[in-house]
Structure 1
Amino acid sequence: MAVRTTGRHAGDTKSRILDTAETLFIECGYEAMSLRQITSRAEVNLAAVNYHFGSKESLIHSMLSRRLDQLNHERLKLLDRFDAMLGARLTCEHVLGAMFIPALRLSRDPRVGGKAFLRLLGRAYTDPSSFIRDFLNAHYESVAVRFFDAFQRALPHLPREELGWRLHFAIGALSGVLAGTDTDSLIAEFSQGKSMNDLQLIARLASLMVAALKAPLPDGTQLAAFAAVLGDASDAAADCAMACGEEERSACGAAIASP
């Protein structure tokens, strides 16, 4: 029989289930957490979970949405502000600021997760489950497109595919760090014991990511050097001939032939 509770108690039960699911998701990831674990730690029965959410999948959707909806709303507001202020002068630093400043602000607010917020964010974007990836892609596609377009305006020389790869690796690396630590530990490790406020932290993070995003594309000589190190010069020569422009091929061949 479904558990039908009303008033403040029903809200408390629903919040407790969501809080517990969030904690377990941060600790274990989607695939490793179970409804049995959630009900045991939240001290509710399965009927209460079914009444409020209907399934594990719907529960996780609700758990992620209650944090990420507000985050992405704040991100878009800040990006819109930068766009209005700067127009064509928008830089990578501004786009990254629009991504990270709202996340840091929310991590300071205990009403929306507090210190665990960044760990939740890191876990969500590194969890290997296709269920989580599909949810994020579907639910926040418009946000991702908006930020991708902003990055492309700031980095017009990069092909879209190359920009996509760079963002994937840069944001994935940061998400992996966030998933494994809390805000205070992250700041302590990043600042190496020095006092650092949010603005300084954002500037340090942005400087690292901007360097990765703005790195020059590899030319034929660099490709050949890697091929020589890997000891596969014959295949590398063919790959290089396809990848390099005519003006680069002689230098590429010389590099492959070098000991």
Structure 2
Amino acid sequence: MPSRSIPSIRPADTKTRLLDAAEAQYIDSGYEAMSLRHITARANANLAAVNYHFGGKDALIHAMLTRRLDGLNRNRLVLLERFQSMHGAQLTCEHILGAMFIPALQQSRCPERSGPALLRLLGRAYTDPSPFIRAYLRTMYTDVAERFFCAFQSVLPHLPREELGWRLHFCIGSLSGILAGADTNSLIDDFTQGRRLEDPQLIGRLALIMVAALKAPQAVTREMCPFQSMFAECNAAPIDTKETQPALA
């Protein structure tokens, strides 16, 4: 009986190493600070390999983001549609937020699919001011964003589109900033003093804040805004910005 050869475990191919290196570099420093020199050194590859597999830096970054975000957003839409079908008119903000965050958390728990780095990648992508990244997200995921926006409109019909847009922008932007700038697991350990926090409880805490913001009373008019008088008082007595004493360390 012929012996069966055991396949050897080969290191990741050059294309995968470049994608992994670009992802790590992007999470660390953002798009504008990335360089092909650092990426290729991290991937143990050369510039010719980038041009061969991708055609250049922008195409490499595009491929790096797409491999993580395409599948994630498909899963988000599947879960959103499932909740809409199951709950109909009883759909809530919590269901929509669950459809946004549950797939991301599940994927972040899977080492083969980037693991914990996914959350920081999401945070970096949604807070990166680079025109290239902003254009990429608008072009690739406008439909996904609109589907979720319409879902929020269905459960918050009293909010004008502009007002809802601002609230979602603030909520998601704040969360993305936290994900991009810190290790979420370390924060959880600090806040819970080492006690285990299950994913449903974690999403529950996020939803508690975000739902409160989304359901807050309508923004006050210009005449009623308390900050209007504060700015008037500030302008009436300009603050002296000259240093009259040593700055505090």
Please report the TM-score for the alignment, with normalisation by the length of structure 1: 0.83
Which residue number in structure 2 is paired with residue 73 of structure 1? 74
The 5 Å alignment of 1:236-251 reads none
Partner of 1:223, secondary structure, is coil
Which residue number in structure 2 is paired with residue 171 of structure 1? 172
1:126 aligns with 2:127: yes
Which residue number in structure 2 is paired with residue 83 of structure 1? 84
Which residue number in structure 1 is paired with residue 183 of structure 2? 182
The 5 Å alignment of 1:51-200 reads 51-200=52-201
Number of residue equivalences: 227
The CA distance in 2 between the partners of 1:170 and 1:118, in whole Å, is 16
TM-fit CA distance, 1:219: 3.3
Supply the AA of the counterpart residue of 2:90. Answer: R
Q: How high is the sequence identity, in percent, across the aligned residues?
A: 63
CA contact 2:222–2:228 (8 Å) conserved in 1: no
The CA distance in 2 between the partners of 1:72 and 1:189, in whole Å, is 30
Point out where structure 1 has 5 or more consecutive residues left out of the alignment: 1-7, 235-259
The CA distance in 2 between the partners of 1:201 and 1:222, in whole Å, is 39
Structure with the bigger percentage of helix:
1
TM-fit CA distance, 1:189: 4.1
Partner of 2:172, secondary structure, is helix
Alignment RMSD, CA only?
2.1
The CA distance in 2 between the partners of 1:186 and 1:63, in whole Å, is 27
The CA distance in 1 between the partners of 2:195 and 2:11, in whole Å, is 45
Which residue number in structure 2 is paired with residue 203 of structure 1? 204
TM-fit CA distance, 1:41: 1.4
Which residue number in structure 1 is paired with residue 241 of structure 2? none
Please report the TM-score for the alignment, with normalisation by the length of structure 2: 0.86
CA contact 2:120–2:181 (8 Å) conserved in 1: yes
Moved more, 179-188 or 68-77: 179-188
Change (3 A) 1:204 1:28: same
Partner of 1:32, secondary structure, is coil
CA contact 1:107–1:183 (8 Å) conserved in 2: no
